[in-house]
Structure 1
Amino acid sequence: LRADRPASILRVHAAYAEAGAPPETAAQLFEELKQTQGWLGLEAIEVTPAGDLGPALADIAVS
């Protein structure tokens, strides 16, 4: 996770779930990322689909 302030983007380089995490983990995490984005005053969130949770999180980010 990185706040790229010059580009005004919260960058998520990879995301991993703990063993036994419920299916809604990616959606809940994205809601937390949106709060972080707002708190930091950034314009966008960019998710790289790396890690076991990354692809689902990236899908949510572009929808």
Structure 2
Amino acid sequence: MSAFSDSEIAGLKVARQSPLIILQPEFVVRAFTLNERLLVCNPNGRLDAEGALQHAYFSDFTDV
């Protein structure tokens, strides 16, 4: 690295991290329920790709 980049990195302030569940609780719930539906052992009960794209987790992505 260059001296400039070293000084820039050294000048960065570290922000206090907050758990994602605090910042975006609905996002975490949606992600959890999607994973729960995708990780079903029995393929007949598992969410398929089309169903996954229709899940609430992807509701903010209107182009999907």
- Is TM > 0.5 for Structure 1 vs Structure 2? no
More strand by share: 1
More helix by share: 2
TM-score normalised over the length of structure 1: 0.31
TM-score normalised over the length of structure 2: 0.31
Q: Comparing both chains, which one has the higher relative contact order based on Cα–Cα distances under 8 Å and sequence gaps of 6 or more?
A: 1
